[in-house]
Chain A
Amino acid sequence: MSATDHRLRIGYIPLVDATALIVAVDKNFTADEGLDVDLVREVSWSNVRDKLNIGLFHAAHLLAPVAIASSLGIGHVRVPIAAPFVLGVNGNAITLTAGLHRLLSDACEGDLSDPMESAKALARVVQKRKQQGRDPLTFGMTFPFSNHNYQLRFWMAAGGVDPDEDVRLVVLPPPYMVESLASGHVDGFCVGAPWNSVAVDLGIGRILHFGCDLVARLSEKVLAVRQSYALDQPDIVSRLVRALARAADFSAVEDNHDEVAAILSAPHRIGVARDIIRGALDGRLRTARGGPVRTDKRYMLIGGGGVPRPDPVHAAWIYAQMVRWGQTPLSDDAMRDARAVYRPDLYDAALGLSDDDIPTDSIEAFAGPAFDAQNIAAYLPAWNIGRQG
């Protein structure tokens, strides 16, 4: 540390994909870069977005789709955002009440762990409820601009369920998810770690799918700064990216997971039991209380293997979901602006990489045509269910 330390206020939501940020600060990686970071725990994504927008935060842990929506001015004021670092890839899961899980299992004609089969089973359950004149099923997700929303929609629609017509989707703050499932307010939800495991441990819910079953690789949370800040303070952004890269790489090593889980479980950070956090980091999640542990290394990726490098193809995919579900019309300009939120150039500059060392990533979804980031106009009409245009 030096006398010229820069003070930064960074907002975050207590979720496991804030790992790189929390580890960077608590292990002094930010201090080593001459940054004096004040991590501010927030209660809502709206707060994080607004405080970043008006400059109360220099940077924030943000839902990738919120960064894009903010840059495009969808649903809120337009504030261009730059994302020089991906804090987490994947990490979500779909959890259902035991009752709905059983109904799907009974209605399933194939392997329930195959999302196409489970989605078709859902369609049958939904159809039957309709015939019986019962209320539609309700699913919780964290924000209108969230992968949780898009993943649920993507999954359901593949089986023939229209997420706007056949079921109800409601926004729920993550800490309220489990309670809402227990009270029967929702029949299922899509949320990030640790909340699926919390529901499973309490015997309230069963995990049906990991997010990576639906889309193999999807940037979930980004480090967001205002574009103007990235322009004015490139050096500080570089230092922050370096500290985060160090923390993300540290957290990607399984031998370090105990230490990382201990740091994250502190009451003033995430405040959830160490074991649950450790499970999320390891990609080992129990899918039902007393049931088997499912292991998938792709469950949540933090650091290592180029994971934190922003890939504009991911931004394009998220934008395509916004268009598909009628949140915004399709336009070439908006597409360009959405892609421009992801800043591999800032990431490379901070870490001294050249862009030809890095393989480009691809979206692998369980349904539909291969995603073509260059030609969304041709990709979108392939879907039978959607709200575009």
Chain B
Amino acid sequence: MDHGLKIVIVDESAIRAAILEEGLREAGFTQVVRIAEMNNLLARVYAVDPDVILIDLENPSRDVLEQMFQVSRAVRRPIAMFVDQSDTASIQASVDAGVSAYIVDGLKKERIKHILDMCISRFNAFSRLQGELDVAKSALEERKVIDRAKGILMKAKNLNEEAAYALLRKTAMNENKKIAEIAQSVLTAAELFK
């Protein structure tokens, strides 16, 4: 194992970078550096002098890293993208997950394959988490809308809470819509009648 590899994570999302770093540490890679500041990125990366660089595909600074491919006097260690032509599945998987990896030229790609695999699965896990968070958030929003609609019905039709909710649910079923949608219509209508 190459646990001595120095790995840089370039990600403006602190949570995702932390998840990635944790995964790498669990896998035994102790030399992990996170970079969240994009200003002077190249200098920051060179200061760490990493063997592997991981970057979020949604980060415009990917183009900055591409400059490292250029052999110049200032930079003596050209860096190549990990994935090559024989590795379409790997590219596809990393692009789908939204992560890209670069390695220092000369490092055999087999040696870091599991690093990328781990990153892909962590990136995917993060997206799932994000998705679940969004679902939870919208559920909370719906809850609020329904509560407000119930309140309006209770007042307007002199119903108790249970009856107000039953009315919303029945209407939703009849119209083949979600309760939250009916509740939203109640709010809109109430707004119009103000």
Contact = CB atoms under 8 A, between A and B. Distances in A.
A75 B42 CA distance: 17
B92 A54 contact: yes
B88 interface: yes
B12 to A, nearest CB: 11
- The secondary-structure label for the interface of chain A is loop
A67 to B, nearest CB: 15
B157 interface: no
Contacts of A47: 57, 62
Contact of A171 (B40, B57, B63, B88): B63
B63 A173 contact: yes
Given A43-B58, A47-B57, A76-B69, A54 B63 contact: no
B81 A44 contact: no
A219 B96 CA distance: 32
A168 B42 CA distance: 12
B163 interface: no
A357 B61 CA distance: 44
A170 interface: yes
A50 B92 CA distance: 10
Most buried by A among B63, B64, B84, B91: B63
Contact of B63 (A75, A142, A165): A142
Nearest to A78: B85
B64 A171 contact: yes
B72 A44 contact: no
Contacts of B74: 168
B67 A56 contact: no
B76 interface: no
Interface in B41-55: 42
Contacts of A44: 59-63
User: Which of under 10, 10 to 19, 20 to 34, or 35 or more describes the interface residues of B?
Assistant: 20 to 34
B114 to A, nearest CB: 22
B66 A46 contact: yes
B73 interface: yes
Contact of A173 (B60, B69, B92): B60
B61 A173 contact: yes
A2 interface: no
A50 B66 contact: no
Nearest to A174: B60
Nearest to A51: B95
Contacts of A327: 70
A168 B67 CA distance: 12
A164 B67 CA distance: 13
B81 A76 contact: yes
Nearest to B61: A173
Contact of B70 (A50, A51, A144, A185): A144
A299 interface: no
Contact of A176 (B38, B62, B71): B38
Most buried by A among B58, B64, B88: B64
Contacts of A43: 58-60, 62
B39 interface: yes
B40 A143 contact: no
B95 A173 contact: no
Given A51-B95, A56-B95, A75 B60 contact: no
Given A45-B63, A47-B62, A170-B42, A165 B73 contact: yes
B13 to A, nearest CB: 14
Nearest to A146: B63
A46 B61 CA distance: 10
A233 interface: no
A183 interface: yes
Contacts of B85: 77-78
A279 interface: no
A183 B70 CA distance: 26
A175 interface: yes
Contacts of B63: 44-46, 142-143, 171-173
A326 interface: yes
A318 to B, nearest CB: 16
A171 B67 contact: yes
A180 B39 CA distance: 8
Contact of A172 (B57, B64, B91, B100): B64
A342 to B, nearest CB: 23
Interface string B3-46: 00000000000000000000000000000000000111010000
26 contacts: A43-B59, A43-B60, A44-B59, A45-B63, A46-B63, A46-B65, A47-B57, A50-B91, A50-B100, A54-B95, A75-B70, A77-B83, A77-B85, A142-B63, A143-B66, A144-B69, A144-B70, A164-B72, A170-B42, A170-B67, A171-B42, A171-B64, A171-B66, A172-B64, A173-B63, A175-B60
Interface of B: 38-40, 42, 57-67, 69-74, 81, 83-85, 88, 91-92, 95, 100
Across the A-B interface, the 10 shortest Cβ-Cβ residue pairs: A173-B60, A75-B69, A44-B62, A171-B67, A43-B60, A46-B62, A44-B63, A171-B64, A144-B70, A77-B85
